[in-house]
Amino acid sequence: MRINHAETFLQGFLIVYGIGLVVSIYDFLLDCTWFCHDKSLIIPGTEDLTDSYHDYMFHARASLRGALLTLPAAVMAGIIVALFR
């Protein structure tokens, strides 16, 4: 049985992790190009965090954390594909 065209653990893992990486990279690019430069997007009550909004490394670290948090989901997807093939 194929799940999303994946037949092995590695294929299932790579599909889910690839999707997670695309989302993480997209979020990083959106943060750095839009949120860092548009004052209308600052949430009321967080004006004291504008240094963090404009810090590209802050967004890069958050993106890396997102990529790392995708790993367990990708492993679980790979296990599910391996069990049901």
- Extents of the domains making up the chain: 9-83
Per-residue pLDDT tens over the stretch 31-69: 888 877 777 777 788 778 777 778 889 889 999 999 999
| pLDDT band for position 3 (cuts 50, 70, 90) | low
d(CA 48, CA 33): 20
| Residue 6, number of CB atoms within 10 A of its CB | 20
Helix/strand number for the chain, H first, E second: 3, 0
Query: Between residues 47 and 20, which one has the greater pLDDT?
Result: 20
Closest CA to 81 of 20, 10, 18: 10
Q: What backbone phi and psi angles, to 5 degrees, belong to 41?
A: -90, 5
pTM equals 0.77
